Amino acid sequence: MIEAVKGGAPAASDQYVQSLARGLAVIRAFDTDHPKMTLTEVAARTDLTRATARRFLYTLVELGYVRTDGKIFALTAKVLQLGYAYLSGLSLPQLAQPHLEELALRLGESTSAAVLDGTDIAYIARVSTKRIMTVGITVGTRFPAYATSMGRVLLAALPPAQLQDYLAAAEIRPLTPRALGTGEALLAELDTVRAQGWCLLNQELELGLMSVAAPVHDGPKVVAAINVSLQAQTVGAQPDPESYLAGVRAATVATAELISADLSSGR
């Protein structure tokens, strides 16, 4: 039962418009399990009389939010506009944060989002489940782009001229014994990242730290990256480390795609 009209609804104030509440309840009555309904079904799910449900449904039909063949009712794509106004008012960190929280909860690992700023990445969102680096990471933390998974995703998306400018400005040196340390090695790695659409970094920023990153798009343009931070020891202790990393990678890419969809929808 939809609770916008009865039990679950907040107490009405003198500013409360009952007809608006009922109209929204009719829209919310449609969901994955009820994509198409008869008038009787809508009335039952909203606790409205058939006559009242009919008036709201046909008002929504005239406004273009609902379609009908005279018996069956269903939402139209126009209802998406109701969410676009909300999304358009959110910044990238605000859009990313709930997705990062869900990803961190699912994997039990810290998640982050960052943008390219000069030769560094700058963190714009962070969900920390545990501290796995000697340096604490918060919003605003910066690291050399070449030595991070998110940085490599962002660098791989740069136009050739901008990438050459980056290489001219950046001081590329190995930060750990496992790290690459030349521009040529970085370019080869960026080719791989560009081709596969994600990056796995294995203890190149700090020994013991691994991370998986994927790009966030606003339309065709990569505007940010997200990642999941992992402990190499934890990965190595898995019964099948490769399958474990594949699962983390799939979840990271899927989350980046969800953020991209929200970002594009709100623009």
133 against 17, higher pLDDT:
17
**The pLDDT of residue 13 is above 90:** no
Question: Which residue ranges make up each domain of the chain?
Answer: 18-82, 89-265
The tokens describing 84, both together, are 């676009």
CATH architecture of 89-265: 2-Layer Sandwich (3.30)
Helix (H) or strand (E) holding 116: strand 111-117
| Band of pLDDT at residue 89, cut at 50, 70 and 90 | low
The helix/strand/coil state of 267 is coil
Over pLDDT 70: what percentage of the chain?
89
**The pLDDT of residue 133 is above 60:** no
35 against 80, higher pLDDT:
35
Contact yes or no for 47/64 (Cβ under 8 A): no
CA 48 to chain CA centroid, nearest Å: 36
Helix (H) or strand (E) holding 249: helix 241-265
> Could you tell me the pTM of the whole model?
0.68
Contact yes or no for 74/67 (Cβ under 8 A): yes
- According to DSSP, the β-strands at 72-75 and 111-117 are unpaired
| Band of pLDDT at residue 265, cut at 50, 70 and 90 | confident
For 18-82, CATH number out of 2.40.40.20, 3.40.50.2300, 3.40.50.300, 1.10.10.10 equals 1.10.10.10
Mean pLDDT taken over the chain: 89
The tokens describing 66, both together, are 């609902």
CA geometry: angle at 263 spanning 257 and 267, to 5°?
145
Of 256, 263, 266, nearest to 150 (Cα)? 256
The helix/strand/coil state of 43 is helix
Contact yes or no for 186/172 (Cβ under 8 A): yes
Look-up: residue for tokens 């994600």? 198
Contact yes or no for 266/87 (Cβ under 8 A): yes
**The pLDDT of residue 36 is above 80:** yes
Look-up: residue for tokens 């709100």? 266
